[in-house]
């Protein structure tokens, strides 16, 4: 058995804070940072380690600011 | 040996374009120039030279097809007559802004509005002062014979590509419809893709890894950049004025009076010169061949020689303004015109010369 | 075994999704949450996957995507308002070995460019038309579009579109599907990951069909305009599902006959 672990990297300076990724994430990983970037937008941030690397957030992000990584982690018997 | 044929002016233009290696013609029917599209569809150059011929859904679409083709570095052209040329002004302005080479033929008919299908020269302002919106100029050639209709096609393409600017052949229903002997040039093959890449490296031909992407646009929202662009256009128009003025002087050496006329009016004036000289009046004729750039300097020089000038135009007095600007008050300049499709005759030209210029 | 760390996951060999390099590395000029960016990305992913960058010529319209050429790393032409299909017609006829697409909004394609759209479709030009329908003129500040829904507010119908006075929304996609020159006419959206993936498949199919000289492939994307609609991006996507989709239902309208 293996379980899938993912991680996302958000280009926070290009994020416009539209929040579409939050809706798209099945694991409720993403939230808005209360700080703003240089353009004055709140930006998306990772809030927990539940990411499975499904790429939904990156696919739906209008500005293409999310990069997704994924690994298979062997689970202990 | 060059091929001799008896042809209509409109047909000569179409044949000349095939022979000049044009890549695409996009047009829409309108009198008095529909023979151009008809001739092309009979000749089927798409089966011989490979030139695309398409009847568009409107003049607006046709000129924008020319825009699309010209953006690929192809030799594209369209033709129409006055009301249709008005519709094309949008695309012409965009092409001037995007610096695209192309040929536009205007076989002028009387206006304004639907006007008449008879010949006129009332689109002089539209052709030479821009025509559409914004600061721009077209290269404008005014043929006075069927031979020149044919000869000016390759010339217009040459100038258009030299300056990356649309060029216009401004003619009228007289020259478009009449038949004359014409000597046709040899067939020039269409440019290969390699030649296009070399001649027009700016063209959108598909971005390869060895170059940046090519973008054809007339838009720049940055005012400083837009101003620089307009100034670079101005330099180009100045270069045309320095290098491309073309005109014909007829019996000007000893002239005391000067007729100024282009296109079909110039042919009438040629006869008027003979009639006047038979009466002992020393008259010459200056025929601008390029209406933009306008032969300002030759006219200014002649202003120091002659006692008066008369422009003969089938309009209310359009080129006369450019002649007056050129002579800058040095001599009297008057205008004689006929309208609504009526062609002036040589006798009335001489009469007007005598009453408005010599007798005044 | 210890939990794998974030740093251990974020390694090149574990990369599963990143923005395609065929999108120029600069911030998009679109509003937050606007579907244009997503459609741009799907388009360029298709061009990358088909490896046709050097064979593709795109045409930008007048509207919010007037500057599309700033973001797409391919040769592009910018057209006068509504005229993109005329440009595409000439390009494809003069360079039949190329992939040619137009990218147009509803005002561009379904109002001022109606004639060019319908005649290019009717002639069966071998091009791809990507049609972004958000029911409003976004760039000029939210005026009524040919596709504005009945009752929907815009700056030139501030009390809502009254069809008695302002006429009806134009279902131009259904209209072009009736023309013999179109081979593939389909309607999608990019507001959820599943819809984005479907849109991408549709764009790819459209490119393939155009290259096979099957006629016009027409891909409509019903999209949001949260600025014009005066909603948040997430609200606008919900509003789009509830109001736009019933009028502009998603799915294939015409598929090529085998």
Question: C31, A9: Cβ pair inside 8 Å?
Answer: no
Q: C164: buried, middle or exposed (CB in 10 Å: 19+, 13-18, 0-12)?
A: exposed
For chain A, list the contacting chains (3+ Cβ pairs, <8 Å). Answer: C
Query: Which residue is closest to A15 within chain C, CA to CA?
Result: C32
Least Cα separation, residue B80 to chain C (angstroms): 17
Strand arrangement of the beta sheet that strand B283-288 belongs to? B247-250, B283-288, B257-260, B308-313, B332-337
- Domain assignment of residue B232, yes or no: no
Q: Residues of A near C (CB-CB distance < 8 A)?
A: 5-7, 9, 14, 16-20, 22-24, 39, 41, 49, 53, 55-71, 73-74, 76
pLDDT of residue B20: 98
Tell me whether residue B14 is in a domain.
Answer: yes
Q: Which two tokens stand for residue A62?
A: 């209008």
Q: Do C95 and B219 touch (CB under 8 A)?
A: no
Is residue C222 one of the residues assigned to a domain? yes
d(CA B278, CA A52): 100
The number of folded domains in chain C is 1
Buried b / exposed e over C211-225, threshold 16 CB at 10 Å, is: beebbbbbbbbbbbb
How many domains does chain A fold into?
A: 1
Chain C positions in Cβ-Cβ contact with residue A23 (cut-off 8 Å): 192, 234, 237
Same-domain pairing of B125 and B263: no
CB C255 within 8 A of CB C182: no
Task: Tell me: pLDDT of A1 over 90.
Answer: no
For residue C52, the chain B residue with the least C-alpha distance is B206
Q: What single string gives the DSSP state of each residue in C95-138?
A: -TTSEEEEEEEHHIIIIITHHHHHHHHHHT-S-EEEEEE-SEET
Provide the 8-state DSSP code for B294: -
pLDDT for the residue B1: 66
- Classify residue A27 as exposed, middle or buried by CB count within 10 Å of its CB (0-12, 13-18, 19+): middle
With respect to residue B218, please indicate whether it lies within any of the assigned structural domains.
no
Q: Which of C16, C27, C41 sits opposite A68 (nearest CB)?
A: C16
CA distances (Å), origin B250, targets B145, B261, B276, B287: 15, 11, 13, 8
The Cα angle at residue B51 between residues B48 and B54, in degrees rounded to 5: 120
- Cβ proximity of C242 and C231 under 8 Å: no
Q: How far apart are CA B312 and CA B356, in angstroms?
A: 12
Which residues are paired to B170 by β-bridges? B106
Contact B67 C54 (CB under 8 A): no
Q: B65 contacts in C (CB within 8 Å)?
A: 86-87, 89-90
Sequence-distant (≥ 6) Cβ neighbours of residue A36 within 8 angstroms: A42, A43
- Chain B nearest-CA distance from C235, in A, is 31
Phi, psi (deg, nearest 5) at residue A75 = -95, 145
Residues B19 and B149 grouped into a single domain = yes
Report yes or no: C97 and C55 within 8 Å, Cβ to Cβ: yes
Q: Which residues of C touch B217 (CB under 8 A)?
A: 60, 69, 77-78
**Contact check, Cβ <8 Å, A59/C16:** no
- B220 within some domain: no
Contact call for C196 and A69, based on CB within 8 A: no
Per the CB < 8 Å rule, is A41 touching C14?
no
In Å, what is the CA distance from B216 to each residue of B7, B75, B103? 38, 16, 18
Least Cα distance to B95 among B69, B118, B122 occurs for B69
**Residue C15 placed within a domain:** no
Q: Which domain range does residue B320 map to?
A: 247-358
Q: How far is C34 from chain B (nearest CA, A)?
A: 21
Among all chains, which residue has been given the structure tokens 């100038």?
Answer: B159
B260 and B187 part of one domain: no
Q: How far apart are CA C230 and CA C153, in angstroms?
A: 10
Q: Could you say which of C91, C93, C116 has the minimum Cβ distance to residue B61?
A: C116
Residue A45: CATH number of its domain: 3.30.70.20
**Subunits close to B (at least 3 CB pairs below 8 A):** C
pLDDT value of residue C3: 79
CB C145, CB C136: distance < 8 Å: yes
Examine residue B318 and state whether it is found in any structural domain, yes or no: yes
A52 pLDDT more than 80: yes
Spatial separation of the C-alpha atoms in residues B96 and C223, rounded to whole Å? 34
B331 vs B314: CA distance, rounded Å: 22
Domain membership of residue B229 (yes or no) is no
- The DSSP bridge pattern shows strands A66-74 and B24-27 to be unpaired
State which residues form the domain around C176. Answer: 29-254
Q: What pLDDT, on a 0 to 100 scale, did the predictor assign at position A75?
A: 77
Q: Does A62 sit within 8 Å of C38, measured CB to CB?
A: yes
Interface test with C, best of B28, B61, B62, B68 (most C CBs within 10 A): B68
Q: What is the pLDDT of residue B74?
A: 98
Which C residues, 182 through 241, put their C-beta within 8 Å of a C-beta on chain A? 190-193, 196-197, 226, 232-234, 237
Q: How many CB atoms lie within 10 A of CB B351?
A: 14
- Residue B258 in 3-state DSSP? strand
Indicate yes or no: pTM above 0.90.
yes
Nearest Cβ partner for C83 among B64, B69, B213: B64
Alpha carbon distance B73, A60 (integer Å):
38
Q: Cα-atom radius of gyration of chain A, to the nearest Å?
A: 13
Q: Which residue has the higher pLDDT, B198 or A74?
A: B198
- Report chain C (258 residues): mean pLDDT per 10 consecutive residues: 84 98 96 98 98 98 95 98 98 98 98 98 98 96 97 97 97 98 98 98 98 97 96 97 98 92
DSSP letter at B313 equals E
Which residues fall within 8 angstroms of residue B198, CB to CB, at 6 or more apart?
none
The C-alpha torsion from B319 through B324 and B325 to B328, rounded to 10°, is 170
Measured distance CA(C189)–CA(C194) in Å, rounded: 9
Copy the structure tokens of residue B290.
Answer: 């390029």
Residue C17 placed within a domain: no
Contact A73 C27 (CB under 8 A): no
Interface size, chain B vs chain C, as Cβ–Cβ contacts under 8 Å = 121
CB atoms within 10 A of CB B278: 9
DSSP state of C229: H
Task: With respect to residue B167, please indicate whether it lies within any of the assigned structural domains.
Answer: yes
Residues of A in contact with C28 (CB under 8 A): 62-63
Rounded CA-CA distance B229/B242 in Å is: 20
Q: Which residues pair with B249 in a beta bridge?
A: B286
- Give the SS3 label for residue B179: strand
What is the C-alpha to C-alpha distance for residues C53 and C81, in angstroms, rounded to an integer? 25
Closest Cβ opposite residue C6 in set A7, A60, A63: A7
Probe site for chain C from B75, B87, B204 (most C CB atoms < 10 A) = B204
Residue B162, domain member (yes or no): yes
Residue C31, Cβ density class (10 Å: 0-12 exposed, 13-18 middle, ≥19 buried): buried
**C8 contact A CB<8A:** yes
Tell me the residue range of the domain where A12 lies: 2-74
Residue-level pLDDT at C257 = 82
pLDDT tens digits in sequence order for chain B, 360 residues long: 689 999 999 999 999 999 999 999 999 999 999 999 999 999 999 999 999 999 999 999 999 999 999 999 999 999 999 999 999 999 999 999 999 999 999 999 999 999 999 999 999 999 999 999 999 999 999 999 999 999 999 999 999 999 999 999 999 999 999 999 999 999 999 999 999 999 999 999 999 999 999 999 999 999 999 999 999 999 999 999 999 999 999 999 999 999 999 999 999 999 999 999 999 999 999 999 999 999 999 999 999 999 999 999 999 999 999 999 999 999 999 999 999 999 999 999 999 999 999 987
Neighbours of B66 (CB within 10 A): 31
* CATH code, domain with B271: 3.40.50.920
Examine residue C177 and state whether it is found in any structural domain, yes or no.
Answer: yes
Q: So what's the pLDDT on residue B2?
A: 83
Using a CB-CB cut-off of 8 Å, the residues of chain A touching C235 are none
In this complex, do B217 and C77 lie within 8 Å of one another by their Cβ atoms?
A: yes
The number of distinct structural domains making up chain B is: 2
**Eight-class DSSP state of B280:** T
Whole-angstrom Cα distance, residue B240 to residue B245?
7
Q: Which residues pair with A44 in a beta bridge?
A: A32
> B25 to chain C: which residues are within 8 Å by CB?
none
Q: Do chain A and B touch: 3 or more Cβ pairs under 8 angstroms?
A: no
Report the pLDDT value the prediction gives residue C2, as an integer from 0 to 100: 59
Residue C224 belongs to domain with CATH number: 3.40.50.970
- What is the ipTM score, two decimals? 0.97
User: Would you state the torsion angle of the CA atoms of residues B292, B295, B296, B299, taken in this order, to the nearest 10 degrees?
Assistant: -150
Q: Which residues sit opposite B27 in a β-bridge?
A: B55
Contact C53 B207 (CB under 8 A): yes
pLDDT at B44 (0 to 100): 98
């Amino acid at each position: 058995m293996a379980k899938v672990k993912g991680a996302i990297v958000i280009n926070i300076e290009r994020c416009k804070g539209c929040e579409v990724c939050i809706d798209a994430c099945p694991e409720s990983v993403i939230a808005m940072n209360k700080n703003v970037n240089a353009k004055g937008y709140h930006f998306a941030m990772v809030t927990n380690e539940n990411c499975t690397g499904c790429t939904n957030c990156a696919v739906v992000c209008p500005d293409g600011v999310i990069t997704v990584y994924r690994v298979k982690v062997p689970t202990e018997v | 040996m060059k091929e001799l044929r008896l042809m209509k002016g409109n047909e000569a233009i179409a044949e000349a374009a095939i022979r000049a290696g044009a890549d695409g013609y996009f047009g829409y029917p309108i009198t008095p120039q529909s023979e151009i599209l008809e001739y092309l569809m009979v000749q089927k150059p798409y089966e011989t030279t490979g030139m695309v011929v398409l009847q568009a859904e409107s003049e607006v679409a046709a000129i924008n097809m020319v825009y699309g083709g010209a953006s690929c570095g192809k030799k594209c052209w369209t033709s129409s007559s006055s009301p249709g040329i008005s519709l094309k002004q949008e695309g012409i302005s965009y092409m001037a802004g995007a610096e695209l080479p192309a040929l536009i033929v205007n076989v002028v008919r009387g206006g304004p509005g639907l006007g008449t299908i008879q010949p006129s020269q009332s689109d002089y302002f539209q052709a030479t002062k821009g025509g559409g919106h914004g600061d721009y100029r077209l290269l404008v050639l005014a043929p006075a014979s069927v031979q020149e209709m044919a000869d000016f096609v390759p010339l217009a393409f040459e100038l258009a590509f030299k300056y990356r600017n649309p060029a216009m052949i401004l003619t009228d229903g007289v020259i478009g419809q009449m038949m004359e002997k014409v000597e046709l040039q040899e067939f020039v093959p269409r440019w290969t893709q390699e030649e296009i890449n070399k001649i027009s490296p700016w063209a959108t031909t598909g971005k390869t890894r060895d170059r940046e992407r090519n973008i054809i646009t007339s838009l720049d929202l940055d005012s400083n950049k837009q101003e620089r662009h307009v100034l670079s256009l101005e330099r180009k128009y100045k270069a045309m004025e320095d290098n491309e003025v073309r005109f014909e002087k007829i019996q000007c050496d000893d002239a005391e009076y000067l007729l100024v006329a282009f296109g079909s009016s110039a042919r009438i004036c040629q006869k008027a010169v003979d009639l006047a000289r038979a009466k002992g009046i020393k008259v010459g004729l200056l025929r601008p061949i390029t209406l933009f750039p306008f032969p300002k300097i030759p006219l200014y020089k002649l202003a120091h020689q002659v006692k008066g000038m008369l422009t003969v135009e089938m309009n209310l007095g359009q080129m006369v303004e450019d002649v007056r600007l050129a002579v800058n008050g040095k001599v009297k300049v008057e205008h004689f015109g006929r309208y609504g499709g009526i062609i002036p005759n040589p006798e009335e030209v001489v009469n007007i010369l005598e009453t408005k210029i010599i007798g005044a | 075994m210890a939990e794998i760390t974030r740093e251990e996951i974020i390694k090149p060999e574990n990369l599963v999704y990143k923005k395609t390099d065929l999108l120029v590395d600069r911030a998009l000029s679109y509003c937050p949450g606007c579907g244009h960016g997503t459609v741009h990305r799907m388009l360029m992913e298709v061009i990358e996957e088909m490896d046709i960058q050097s064979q593709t010529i795109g045409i930008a319209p007048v509207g919010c995507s007037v500057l599309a050429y700033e973001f797409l790393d391919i040769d592009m032409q910018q057209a006068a308002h509504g005229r993109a299909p005329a440009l595409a017609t000439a390009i494809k006829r003069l360079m039949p070995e190329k992939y040619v697409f137009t990218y147009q909004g509803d005002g561009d394609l379904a109002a001022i460019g109606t004639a060019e759209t319908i005649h290019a479709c009717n002639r069966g030009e071998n091009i791809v038309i990507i049609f972004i329908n958000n029911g409003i003129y976004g760039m000029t500040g939210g005026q009524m579009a040919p596709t504005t829904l009945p009752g929907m507010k815009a700056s030139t119908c501030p009390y809502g579109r009254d069809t008695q006075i302002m006429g009806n929304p134009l279902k131009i996609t259904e209209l072009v599907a009736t023309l013999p020159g179109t081979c593939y006419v389909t309607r999608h959206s990019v507001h959820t990951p599943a819809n984005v993936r479907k849109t991408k498949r549709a764009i790819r199919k459209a490119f393939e069909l155009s290259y096979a000289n099957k006629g016009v492939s027409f891909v409509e994307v019903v999209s949001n305009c949260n600025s014009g609609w005066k909603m948040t991006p997430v609200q606008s996507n919900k509003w789009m599902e509830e109001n736009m989709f019933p009028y502009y239902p998603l799915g294939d309208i015409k598929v090529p006959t085998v």
